[in-house]
């Protein structure tokens, strides 16, 4: 299994697969109360079967080229992750997401991990538009979207039923030209692969 270093602090990004179900469940148990404020993942993964099913769903998305899920590990311990809930290469669109357990907060892990995943999507898969949908009350995820250079497009009012209430969901996005410009200004020059598909 490959992994990508996210810096000199022992943080790495690597795929999460069904055989990680036990590790993923233990991670969810540590993160459940924290994540349960705004993210349905805390309720979706509650035992070993649901953990395996969740990861199997993303394995099938990866096989169909319609989604991806990667874990963030620090010193070999799973502390969070980033994913594409959806990915449509023919349309050039993807919806990104993230999560962290409390031990991973405040270290820039999501920003670095999401940057690596979006770099891959834009430069290797020719994704033109990446969305970031987040509950309006989720200040941490909104801050990550801002750090990544996303633009707030609007609010889907009371669109997400969650634990007996309806949450407002903000829609943020970044377009490939904006992403490349931001990458260059940050010193991360990302040459477009010669074999990248161009769209008319």
CATH number at residue 52: 3.40.630.30
pLDDT at position 183, please? 76
| Higher local confidence (pLDDT), 3 or 97 | 97
Q: Looking at residues 112-120, what average pLDDT do you find?
A: 96
Within a domain: 194: no
Which residues, 6 or more positions from 108, have their beta carbon under 8 angstroms from its beta carbon? none
Instruction: Provide the pLDDT confidence category of residue 155 given band limits of 50, 70 and 90.
Output: very high
| Domain span at 62 | 4-185
Structural domain contains residue 192: no
Residue, of 192 and 131, whose pLDDT is higher: 131
Instruction: With cut-offs at 50, 70 and 90, classify the pLDDT of residue 188.
Output: low
Whether 117 is covered by a domain: the verdict is yes
Q: Is residue 143 part of a domain?
A: yes
Report the pLDDT averaged over residues 103-116.
93
Q: Is-contact 28 42, C-beta < 8 A?
A: yes
pLDDT at 3: 85
Rounded to whole angstroms, how far apart are CA atoms 71 and 113?
A: 9
Q: What percent of the chain is predicted at pLDDT more than 70?
A: 91
Tally of domains within the chain: 1
Which pLDDT score, from 0 to 100, does residue 190 have? 47
Across the range 144-152, mean pLDDT stands at 96
């Amino acid at each position: 299994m490959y992994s990508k270093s996210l810096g000199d602090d022992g943080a790495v990004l690597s795929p999460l697969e069904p055989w990680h179900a036990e590790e993923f469940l233990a991670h969810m148990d540590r993160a459940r109360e924290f994540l349960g404020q705004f993210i349905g993942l805390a309720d979706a993964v509650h035992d070993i079967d649901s953990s395996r099913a969740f990861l199997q769903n993303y394995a099938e998305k990866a096989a169909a080229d319609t989604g991806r899920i990667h874990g963030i590990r620090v010193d070999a311990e799973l502390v969070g992750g980033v994913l594409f809930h959806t990915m449509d290469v023919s349309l050039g669109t993807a919806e990104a997401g993230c999560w962290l357990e409390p031990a991973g907060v405040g270290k820039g892990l999501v920003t670095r991990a999401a940057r690596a995943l979006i770099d891959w999507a834009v430069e290797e898969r020719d994704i033109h538009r990446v969305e970031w949908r987040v509950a309006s009350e989720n200040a941490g995820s909104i801050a990550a979207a801002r750090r990544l250079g996303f633009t707030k497009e609007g609010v889907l009012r009371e669109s997400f039923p969650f634990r007996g209430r309806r949450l407002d969901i903000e829609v943020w996005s970044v377009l490939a030209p904006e992403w490349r410009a931001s990458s260059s200004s940050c010193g991360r020059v990302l040459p477009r692969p010669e074999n990248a598909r161009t769209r008319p």
